[in-house]
Amino acid sequence: MPETNKTETELDAVIIGAGFSGLYQLHCLRDRLGLRARVLEMADGVGGTWYWNRYPGARCDSESQSYCYAFSDELTREWEWSERYPGHAEIRRYLNFVADKLDLKRDIRFSTKVTSAQYEAADNRWHVATDSGDRLTAKYLITAVGCLSTANVPKIPGLDAFRGQWYHTGQWPHDGVDFRGKRVAQIGTGSTGIQAAPVIAETAAHLTVFQRTANYSVPARNAPLTPEFKTYIKENFDEIRRTTRSTTNGHPFVISQRKVFDVSEEERQKIYQAAWTKGGLQFRAAFEDLLVSKDANDTAAKFLKNKIREIVKDPETAAKLSDIDHPYGAKRPPIDTDYFETFNRANVSLVDVRADPIAEITPTAIKLESGAEYPVDIIVFATGFDAMTGALLRLNLTGRDGLKLAQAWQAGPRNYLGLQIAGFPNLFTITGPGSPSVLCNMPVAIEQHVEWITDCIDHMQRNDIARIEPTEEAVNGWVQHVNDAANATLLPQAHHSWYLGANVPGKPRVFMPYTGGMATYRERCNAIADNGYEGFSLSA
Ligand SMILES: Cc1cc2nc3c(=O)[nH]c(=O)nc-3n(C[C@H](O)[C@H](O)[C@H](O)COP(=O)(O)OP(=O)(O)OC[C@H]3O[C@@H](n4cnc5c(N)ncnc54)[C@H](O)[C@@H]3O)c2cc1C
């Protein structure tokens, strides 16, 4: 039945977001379980991350044969990737292909932002409000809002009065930005900034990169896929799927079991060099102990810092770029196409804003605390996201007894398995904080969550279960376990990382993703379900 504004549409499930997560969740609930399900999406198309992130150089760091759904042989057979790492436009085409193939768009309401959702015990339903005036109710509410979907624009005094143009990479204009003849400032040198700078530098009159945190990067070595590799993907997808589902981080490569000091210095250098030549995220698979032993990590860090000094010709710039203060892999490890080489161009310069922070943006320039001014026409904020909790908190969720999510998470996110929050019955959070999410090749994490949620809902429907939510005890145990797992690695040592929420002023410093590994996590989730949803309270 067509819905009209201001009417209340009754559904079984409302799903928020039409990226990888929301699309698959809709397919599972509608086509597998036969439920009435609807997706609400604020963009006017599918794609999620790849709808919004269209900045120059925007490209996936996961290899294409693994950055896709694995649940359908038909989808795998019919789709063909063109490059080792798919670019944003190709991923959008892929997700549109999936949405069309599974006939999903008829149940997605685009250009519709969820503004609040409230659980009412009286009817055991979520009441969802949107900015277009729609009201929907559903027994189940599933957030598929993404870990990296809330752009973080730093509050720098003077930005409002800036007379040039400014953009955040995660909200990039669909018709692109013309940098020709312009003086461009790029603020931020994380994975995004590292992808964007080389491409911006190709056309800008001048590019000034403002770096607060120097970062490692390994060459991506992107290239068109050969016909042989395309055939390999088609013929060996079962094996690829087995690998991505059994590895710690959901990537199609296996982390070596050898330890850094099991081999001689000479052998180690050969291994690092081979990994550097091969390129990509596989670099961190060179040794087992890179993310748990500081001494081991130091050897990789030294190798990568030396590479920067070899590539960058100006010694002062090379020194700033290689002055990296955290272990390799403790922040999201970027991969690049000519990032460090870009600083050898005559039209590119680097400014160290850790040494001399940005004080303000004047109508025509970026001004540092020392008083130094850099006149610019365009500012590009490659400053990342209010990651993992930002989009969830902005949903204005109210659970049982009027409990607001902002209250429940005042001191940081608290949930069970990253999937459910105490006090918020029948709410499921796909790749929520406390799950492997961003430490994993995400389609793998997403499929696991969506399938677990689908099985759980199926179980509830078949057994007339009205409500599910985790017990406080289970939440306490999980939060502790997530902390312990993080502290067993070097990851919390990157004090300014977005994994810790440190990029957003005022955000509680809690290590958010689960470092225990995707394969272990999957087993644990399955065991919990098999044991009658241990740690959850289910009521008729
Ligand atoms: C630049 C960049 C590069 C990345 N590279 C990789 C990579 O190499 N490998 C990898 O595994 N992952 C990568 N990721 C992570 C990426 O986010 C995931 O791989 C995946 O796309 C997440 O899918 P999702 O559906 O869970 O969330 P998203 O794709 O983020 O989709 C969430 C959707 O929810 C919508 N939404 C949010 N709030 C609301 C609301 N209130 N109302 C309505 N709609 C709402 C958003 O508009 C968005 O469309 C990258 C992310 C970024 C930003």
Per-residue pLDDT of the chain (540 residues; tens, 9 = 90+): 344 445 789 999 999 999 999 999 999 999 999 999 999 999 999 999 999 999 999 999 999 999 999 999 999 999 999 999 999 999 999 999 999 999 999 999 999 999 999 999 999 999 999 999 999 999 999 999 999 999 999 999 999 999 999 999 999 999 999 999 999 999 999 999 999 999 999 999 999 999 999 999 999 999 999 999 999 999 999 999 999 999 999 999 999 999 999 999 999 999 999 999 999 999 999 999 999 999 999 999 999 999 999 999 999 999 999 999 999 999 999 999 999 999 999 999 999 999 999 999 999 999 999 999 999 999 999 999 999 999 999 999 999 999 999 999 999 999 999 999 999 999 999 999 999 999 999 999 999 999 999 999 999 999 999 999 999 999 999 999 999 999 999 999 998 899 989 899 889 888 999 999 999 999 999 999 999 999 999 999
C-alpha of residue 63 to centroid of ligand 1, in Å: 17
Which atom of ligand 1 lies closest to the CA of 43? 47
Give the number of other Cβ atoms within 10 Å of residue 315's Cβ: 9
Encoded tokens for 85:
């790492």
- Give the Å distance between the CA of 149 and the centre of ligand 1: 5
Ligand 1 center to residue 47 CA distance, Å? 8
Helix (H) or strand (E) holding 13: strand 8-16
Say what the pLDDT of residue 401 is: 96
One-letter identity of residue 394? R
Nearest ligand 1 atom to the CA of 22 is: 25
Please count the other Cβ atoms lying within 10 Å of the Cβ belonging to residue 369. Answer: 12
Structure tokens at 32: 């597998």
Using CA atoms, how far apart are residues 460 and 426, in angstroms rounded to an integer? 10
What own/partner pairs with CB < 8 Å and gap ≥ 24 does 361-367 have? Answer: 361/156, 361/157, 361/158, 361/159, 361/161, 361/162, 362/158, 362/161, 362/162, 363/158, 363/161, 363/162, 363/163, 364/162, 364/163, 364/164, 366/185, 366/187, 366/208, 366/210, 367/158
CB-CB contact of 399 with 405 (8 Å): yes
C-alpha 255/C-alpha 241 separation (Å) is 16
Measured between alpha carbons, how far is 349 from 53 in angstroms, rounded to an integer? 25
For tokens 């902390």, name the residue: 483
Token pair, residue 409, equals: 């998470």
In angstroms, rounded to a whole number, what is the distance separating the alpha carbons of residues 274 and 131? 52
362 vs 352: CA distance, rounded Å = 19
At 369-389, the pLDDT tens digits run 999 999 999 999 999 999 999
Are the beta carbons of 377 and 184 closer than 8 angstroms? yes
Q: Which residues line ligand 1 (CB under 6 A)?
A: 16-22, 40-43, 48-49, 51, 53, 58, 60-62, 67, 113-114, 144-149, 170, 192, 391, 395, 430-431, 441-442, 446
| Ligand 1 centroid, distance to 170 Cα (angstroms) | 10
Burial class (CB in 10 A: 0-12, 13-18, 19+), 118: middle
